[in-house]
């Protein structure tokens, strides 16, 4: 039990050295240790906060600049904090203030535009007080006590203890602190402010005689992560108390929309009912585990500790400019523009060098340019996230009807309590997140289907009050709504009944809206992407199996289930949402909506090896290959049959043969090296092309191997070219123009006719003239067309990493890769034909033997009709 543990530490620190704990002494000491431990443990929950280590004491001022302890007026943060900090500057630059200012709050279907700021001053305490009470602040705002909202933030007691019971039940457990079991409210108020039944009051004990706060009540500090979490989502930095997972709680914004949870706790030791929890020894978020706070990444951009943007600007010879804000200047005017994805950017690469940690990953730059780090490092969200929000129907409280994903393996209504559902989490979909410079990388997103009523030509959202009036009379459904929706006639509408699943219901509500003067009301539904940047995990748990993406069932193109839109409409993809929609909305086998990502859309321009292929090319390749194989087989069969027949008829005697040194050592060496390399390339290429058939082989290693083999091939080809040029052997490959076609026809006729008759070969094969005209033609094609093309396309594909601009200029992977595949098919076809033709010598294995040993046995010109193709030969024409 943690209290006892604490007592041990406390005891060790305080009691052991030199004391003589006789009985009662010991008990007293340990009791003191217990209390100390309890205080330490519960400090974040309230009680007496520890004093700020640095911040001086200060008076609390009202809007007139008077001390609140005398005026009793609400605290003005602008005046109070502004007496030292430049509150005008901060207000002007503060990102939170800007986001919340009424003019900037664009209509957000998630909140139905209920987000505008309510005129309260910028609330310094909410972030900078060590024990800010957001629940009390929200209570004040809800009660219309706008001016008191900031003051209420300083109430230390749990809000439930201070406000009437009804309100307490209604208030969401918004703060992370609320999870910690609180001590019963102490007799003396612990905080600066107390809520009484007569309103807010100041605790005189908190103030010194000069009207300043006593030091122990000054608890001003850097924003703690849980302070951020009280508005942004679930943050749980306590390691001693198990995290109680927020499930579909819309006060935990980011957790609600995406399932991101920031906590150092292992999922296995948290209090969440997560499927297979015991096996999930990973923390909810590795950065939280590694003791990073929110503000470590989301720092104020003029914080001199973090700032890299310095007056040196773009001077390349300067890596650091010491002429920067000093701390005093910063503390007076912290900009409060926080580094985030678009501003100042806490990008992963600010801290991490992927090239050091990803040495196992081929094509690192290609991966990191096409994929955000989060794509692999947030493989799965372990908390549920919103799937759909339907504003076209309203609960009796006037709230929309939600469904969440990641519950019981799919999309379901929010459970009655977090423990009532088995949390299965979900795999986010990957969308192209477009940066300011137009570049885009696949990043994880949750997609939320939002439905709401619109009216008018411009499809303006219908006022929520009007929708409320359409359903509700006060806090009860109107009779006709109840009649239309209450299918089980129990007088209440369940989430299953709250659904516009018939035109009768839709028409009824449209009519009731029309009754309020809103004509042409109709349902609009859109899919809103919510980006995911937290809940990050390190390498051990990240996606690192290549075949997660590089195979047919690629994770990148996995269909993402969508929440249903109201009235069964097909929702549209939200525009201007910062993403490039690389996919489309469709339906899965059961008619449920899915988002189907695609790779080779004009916008996406992705070609995922192992997954993407041009079926036409593969089909063509297979056909050519099969055709060649069939032809070869037929030809060989005929040869065998005719040879037997000739043998039976007594046939002709063998043509006389003579041994001739045909292939030099180098020729043989480069040939066989090339053979081995080409076989290797063909096989590794096949694995890369269709990895699902070779799942035992490491995809990454195959890619690597393919590249190295290609390098050997290119070097071997280049050396061979040099040899042939330097030695003049190249002549053998170049067909002589004179009589070429006649000779070619003559050779073709031999293969088609003479070979079956046992005719001698039409041309003499000699050291200097190894190739017949057909061979010359073929090799000319292979070596001058196919091989260079394959090398060029391959190099360009490799260049997608090294010189992406050139690769993209020449068609990019979506063009180059299928082209490379096509040539590979042709190569394989050639190899089959080539191997077969080696058997057409005077005996089947003679050609191969010659290429091994160098000596060929060729028909002697005297005995056969072979015609020399030497220029001097008498060919008869």
Partner 1 sequence: MRDFRYLWLVGLLITVGVIAIPVGLLTLDPPPAAADPWDHVPERVPATDHSTLLEGPFESGSDVTRACLECHEDAAEQVSHTSHFTWLSEPVLLEGRDEPVQIGKANLINNFCIGVQSNWTGCTRCHAGYGWSDASYDFTDSENVDCLVCHDQSGGYVKGTSGLPAEGVDLLTAAQSVGTPTRLNCGGCHFNGGGGNAVKHGDLDESLYYPAESVDVHMGRYDFLCVDCHQTEDHVIGGRSTTSSASEDRQIACTDCHEPTLHADARINEHTDTVACQTCHIPTTATRYETKVSWDWSQAGQDREEDPHEYLKIKGEFLYEGDVVPSYAWFNGQVERYLLGDAIDPAAVTVLNPVQGGIDDAGSLIYPFKIHDAQQPYDTVFNILLQPNTVGELGYWTTFDWDSALQRGAEAAGIPYSGQYDFAATRMYWVQSHMVVPAERALTCTDCHGENSRMDWRALGYPGDPLEWGGRDLPQVIADDSAQIAQAATPVDAEGGS
Please state, in angstroms and rounded to a whole number, the distance separating the CA atoms of residues 273 and 251: 20
13 part of the interface to partner 1, by CB under 8 A: yes
Nearest CB to partner 1, comparing residues 168 and 680 = 680
Nearest CB to partner 1, comparing residues 86 and 704 = 704
Question: 235 forms bridges with which residues in the sheet?
Answer: 262
Alpha helices in 518-614 (DSSP H): none
239 part of the interface to partner 1, by CB under 8 A: yes
CB of 232 to partner 1, least distance (A): 19
778 part of the interface to partner 1, by CB under 8 A: no
Residue from 63, 91, 111, 268 touching partner 1 (CB under 8 A): that is 268
Per CB under 8 A, contacts with partner 1 among 677-696 are 677, 680
Per CB under 8 A, contacts with partner 1 among 639-678 are 661, 665, 668-669, 672-673, 676-677
CB of 50 to partner 1, least distance (A): 11
Residue from 42, 185, 422, 700 touching partner 1 (CB under 8 A): that is 700
Nearest CB to partner 1, comparing residues 26 and 789 = 26
CB of 277 to partner 1, least distance (A): 11
Biggest CA pair distance of the chain: 131
Please state, in angstroms and rounded to a whole number, the distance separating the CA atoms of residues 823 and 781: 12
Nearest CB to partner 1, comparing residues 65 and 853 = 853
CB of 334 to partner 1, least distance (A): 20
Residue located via tokens 């001022």:
61
Q: Which range of residues in 110-118, 357-365, 459-467, 603-611 is near partner 1 by CB under 8 A?
A: 357-365
4 part of the interface to partner 1, by CB under 8 A: yes
762 part of the interface to partner 1, by CB under 8 A: no
Query: Do 468 and 513 form a contact (C-beta atoms < 8 A)?
Result: no
Give the DSSP H/E element, type plus range, for residue 467: helix 464-471
Residue located via tokens 């203030």:
97
Nearest CB to partner 1, comparing residues 18 and 322 = 18
Please state, in angstroms and rounded to a whole number, the distance separating the CA atoms of residues 826 and 815: 17
393 part of the interface to partner 1, by CB under 8 A: no
Nearest CB to partner 1, comparing residues 640 and 848 = 848
Q: Which range of residues in 356-364, 547-555, 604-612, 745-753 is near partner 1 by CB under 8 A?
A: 356-364
Give the CA distances from residue 786 to residues 617, 745, 825, 827, in Å, rounded to whole numbers and listed in that order: 16, 24, 11, 7
CB of 700 to partner 1, least distance (A): 7
Residue from 90, 156, 556, 709 touching partner 1 (CB under 8 A): that is 709
508 part of the interface to partner 1, by CB under 8 A: no
351 part of the interface to partner 1, by CB under 8 A: no
Q: What is the 3-state secondary structure (H, E, C) of 103-135?
A: CCCCCCCCCCCCCCCCCCCCCHHHHHECCCCHH
CB of 787 to partner 1, least distance (A): 18
Residue from 150, 238, 375, 566 touching partner 1 (CB under 8 A): that is 238
Give the CA distances from residue 755 to residues 463, 644, 772, 833, 837, in Å, rounded to whole numbers and listed in that order: 89, 13, 15, 16, 12
Please state, in angstroms and rounded to a whole number, the distance separating the CA atoms of residues 471 and 467: 7
Q: 197 phi and psi, to 5 degrees?
A: -70, -15
Site string (827-856) toward partner 1, x via CB under 8 A: -------------------------xxx--
Nearest CB to partner 1, comparing residues 356 and 479 = 356
Q: What is the 3-state secondary structure (H, E, C) of 130-188?
A: CCCCHHHHHHHHHCCCHHHHHHHCCECCCHHHHCCHHHHHHCCCCCHHHHCCCCCCCCC
Residue located via tokens 């795999």:
427
Q: Which range of residues in 148-156, 412-420, 649-657, 699-707 is near partner 1 by CB under 8 A?
A: 699-707
52 part of the interface to partner 1, by CB under 8 A: no
Give the CA distances from residue 272 to residues 92, 264, 703, 758, in Å, rounded to whole numbers and listed in that order: 41, 14, 41, 83
CB of 669 to partner 1, least distance (A): 5
Q: Which range of residues in 113-121, 170-178, 427-435, 538-546 is near partner 1 by CB under 8 A?
A: 538-546
Q: Which range of residues in 98-106, 353-361, 477-485, 820-828 is near partner 1 by CB under 8 A?
A: 353-361
Sign, CA dihedral 227-233-238-239, equals negative
Nearest CB to partner 1, comparing residues 359 and 458 = 359
Residue from 705, 816, 817, 822 touching partner 1 (CB under 8 A): that is 705
Total residues at interface with partner 1 (CB under 8 A): 62
Please state, in angstroms and rounded to a whole number, the distance separating the CA atoms of residues 644 and 206: 114
Nearest CB to partner 1, comparing residues 613 and 698 = 698
Please state, in angstroms and rounded to a whole number, the distance separating the CA atoms of residues 699 and 242: 40
98 CB neighbour count, 10 Å cutoff: 14
CB of 267 to partner 1, least distance (A): 10
794 part of the interface to partner 1, by CB under 8 A: no
Nearest to 274, CA basis, from 418, 178, 377: 418
Per CB under 8 A, contacts with partner 1 among 166-185 are none
Nearest CB to partner 1, comparing residues 86 and 222 = 222
Q: What is the DSSP string of 707-754?
A: HHHHHHHHHHHHHHHHHHHHHSGGGGGSPPSTTHHHHHHHHHHIIIII
Q: Which range of residues in 6-14, 166-174, 619-627, 807-815 is near partner 1 by CB under 8 A?
A: 6-14
Please state, in angstroms and rounded to a whole number, the distance separating the CA atoms of residues 253 and 530: 11
136 part of the interface to partner 1, by CB under 8 A: no
Coil, strand or helix at 46: coil
Q: Which range of residues in 381-389, 422-430, 467-475, 700-708 is near partner 1 by CB under 8 A?
A: 700-708
CB of 55 to partner 1, least distance (A): 17
- Give how far the C-alpha of residue 585 lies from the chain's centroid of Cα atoms, to the nearest Å: 19
155 CB neighbour count, 10 Å cutoff: 29
Query: Do 444 and 380 form a contact (C-beta atoms < 8 A)?
Result: no
Query: Do 302 and 330 form a contact (C-beta atoms < 8 A)?
Result: yes
271 part of the interface to partner 1, by CB under 8 A: no
Site string (272-301) toward partner 1, x via CB under 8 A: ---------x-x----xxxx----------
CB of 13 to partner 1, least distance (A): 7
741 part of the interface to partner 1, by CB under 8 A: no
CB of 151 to partner 1, least distance (A): 27
CB-count burial class (<10 Å; 0-12, 13-18, 19+) for 463:
middle
CB of 687 to partner 1, least distance (A): 14
CB of 346 to partner 1, least distance (A): 19
DSSP state of 783: I
Nearest CB to partner 1, comparing residues 93 and 277 = 277
Please state, in angstroms and rounded to a whole number, the distance separating the CA atoms of residues 515 and 528: 31
Nearest to 856, CA basis, from 657, 708, 600: 657
CB of 12 to partner 1, least distance (A): 6
Extract the tokens encoding 512. 């009731």
Q: Which range of residues in 14-22, 208-216, 579-587, 761-769 is near partner 1 by CB under 8 A?
A: 14-22
Contacts with partner 1 by CB under 8 A lie at 1, 4-5, 7-9, 12-13, 16-23, 26, 30, 237-240, 264, 266, 268-269, 281, 283, 288-291, 357, 359-360, 362, 538-540, 661, 665, 668-669, 672-673, 676-677, 680, 698, 700-701, 704-705, 707-709, 711-712, 716, 852-854
């Amino acid at each position: 039990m943690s209290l006892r543990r604490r007592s041990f530490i406390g005891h060790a620190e305080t009691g052991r050295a030199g004391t003589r704990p006789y009985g009662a002494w010991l008990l007293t000491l340990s009791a003191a240790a217990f209390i100390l431990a309890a205080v330490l443990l519960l400090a974040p929950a309230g009680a007496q906060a520890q004093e700020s280590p640095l911040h001086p004491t200060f008076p609390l001022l009202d809007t007139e600049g008077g001390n609140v302890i005398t005026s009793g007026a609400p605290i003005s943060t602008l005046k109070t904090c502004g007496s030292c900090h430049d509150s005008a500057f901060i207000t002007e630059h503060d990102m939170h203030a800007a986001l919340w200012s009424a003019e900037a709050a664009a209509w957000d279907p998630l909140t139905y535009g209920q987000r505008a700021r309510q005129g309260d001053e910028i609330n310094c305490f909410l972030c900078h007080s060590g024990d800010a009470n957001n629940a009390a602040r929200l209570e004040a705002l809800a009660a219309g006590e706008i001016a008191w909202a900031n003051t209420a933030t300083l109430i230390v007691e749990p809000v439930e203890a201070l406000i009437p019971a009804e309100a307490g039940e209604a208030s969401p457990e918004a703060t992370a602190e609320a999870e910690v079991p609180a001590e019963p409210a102490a007799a003396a108020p612990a905080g600066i402010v107390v809520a009484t039944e007569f309103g807010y009051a100041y605790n005189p004990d908190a103030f010194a005689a000069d009207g300043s706060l006593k030091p122990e009540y000054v608890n001003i500090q850097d924003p703690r992560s849980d302070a951020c979490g009280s508005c942004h989502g679930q943050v749980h930095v306590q390691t001693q108390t198990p995290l109680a997972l927020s499930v579909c709680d819309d006060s935990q914004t980011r957790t609600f929309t995406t399932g991101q949870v920031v906590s150092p706790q292992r999922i296995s030791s948290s209090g969440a009912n997560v499927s297979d929890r015991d096996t999930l020894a990973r923390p909810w978020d590795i950065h939280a585990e590694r003791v990073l706070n929110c503000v470590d990444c989301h720092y104020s951009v003029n914080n001199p500790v973090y700032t890299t943007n310095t007056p040196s600007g773009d001077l390349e010879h300067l890596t650091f400019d010491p002429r920067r804000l000093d701390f005093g200047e910063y503390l007076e005017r912290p900009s409060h523009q926080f580094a985030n994805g678009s501003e100042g950017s806490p990008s992963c690469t600010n801290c991490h060098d992927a090239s050091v940690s990803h040495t196992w990953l081929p094509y690192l730059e290609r991966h990191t340019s096409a994929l955000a780090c989060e794509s692999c490092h947030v493989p799965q969200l372990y908390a549920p996230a919103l799937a759909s929000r339907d504003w076209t129907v309203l609960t009796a409280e006037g709230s929309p009807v939600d469904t969440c994903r990641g519950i019981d393996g799919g999309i379901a209504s929010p459970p009655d309590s977090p423990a009532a559902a088995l949390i299965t989490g979900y795999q986010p979909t990957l969308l192209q997140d477009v940066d300011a410079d137009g570049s885009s990388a696949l990043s994880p997103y949750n997609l939320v289907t939002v439905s709401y009523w619109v009216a008018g030509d411009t499809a303006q959202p219908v006022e929520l009050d009007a929708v409320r009036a359409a359903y509700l009379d006060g806090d009860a459904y109107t009779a006709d709504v109840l009649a239309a929706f209450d299918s089980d006639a129990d007088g209440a509408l369940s989430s299953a009944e709250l659904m516009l699943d018939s035109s009768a219901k839709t028409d009824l509500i449209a009519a009731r809206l029309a009754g309020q003067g809103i004509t042409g009301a109709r349902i609009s539904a859109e899919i809103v992407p919510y980006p995911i940047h937290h809940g990050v995990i390190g390498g051990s748990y990240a996606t690192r199996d290549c075949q997660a993406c590089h195979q047919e069932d690629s994770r990148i193109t996995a269909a993402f289930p969508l929440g249903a839109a109201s009235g069964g409409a097909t929702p549209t993809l939200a525009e201007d949402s910062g993403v490039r929609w690389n996919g489309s909305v469709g339906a899965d086998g059961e008619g449920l909506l899915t988002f189907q990502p695609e790779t080779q859309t004009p916008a996406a321009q992705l070609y995922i090896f192992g997954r993407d292929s041009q079926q036409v090319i593969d089909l063509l390749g297979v056909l050519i290959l099969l055709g060649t194989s069939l032809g070869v087989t037929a030809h060989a069969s005929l040869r065998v049959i005719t040879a037997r027949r000739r043998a039976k008829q007594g046939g002709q005697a063998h043509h006389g043969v003579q041994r001739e040194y045909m292939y030099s050592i180098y020729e043989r060496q480069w040939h066989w090296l090339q053979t081995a390399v080409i076989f290797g390339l063909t096989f590794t290429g096949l694995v890369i092309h269709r990895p699902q058939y070779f799942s035992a082989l490491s995809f990454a290693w195959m890619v690597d191997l393919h590249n190295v083999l290609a390098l050997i091939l290119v070097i071997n080809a280049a050396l061979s070219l040099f040899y042939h040029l330097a030695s003049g052997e190249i002549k053998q490959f170049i067909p002589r123009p004179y009589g070429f076609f006649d000779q070619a026809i003559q050779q073709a006729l031999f293969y088609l006719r003479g070979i079956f008759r046992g005719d001698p070969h039409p041309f003499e094969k000699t050291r200097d003239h190894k190739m017949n005209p057909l061979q010359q033609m073929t090799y000319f094609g292979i070596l001058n067309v196919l091989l260079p093309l394959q090398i060029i396309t391959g190099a360009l594909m490799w260049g997608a990493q090294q010189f992406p601009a050139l690769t993209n200029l020449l068609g990019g992977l979506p063009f180059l890769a299928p082209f490379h595949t096509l040539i590979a098919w042709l190569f394989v076809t050639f190899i089959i034909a080539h191997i077969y033709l080696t058997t057409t010598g005077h005996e089947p294995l003679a050609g191969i033997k010659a290429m091994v040993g160098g000596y060929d046995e060729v028909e002697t010109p005297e005995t056969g009709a072979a015609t020399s193709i030497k220029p001097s030969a008498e060919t008869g024409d």
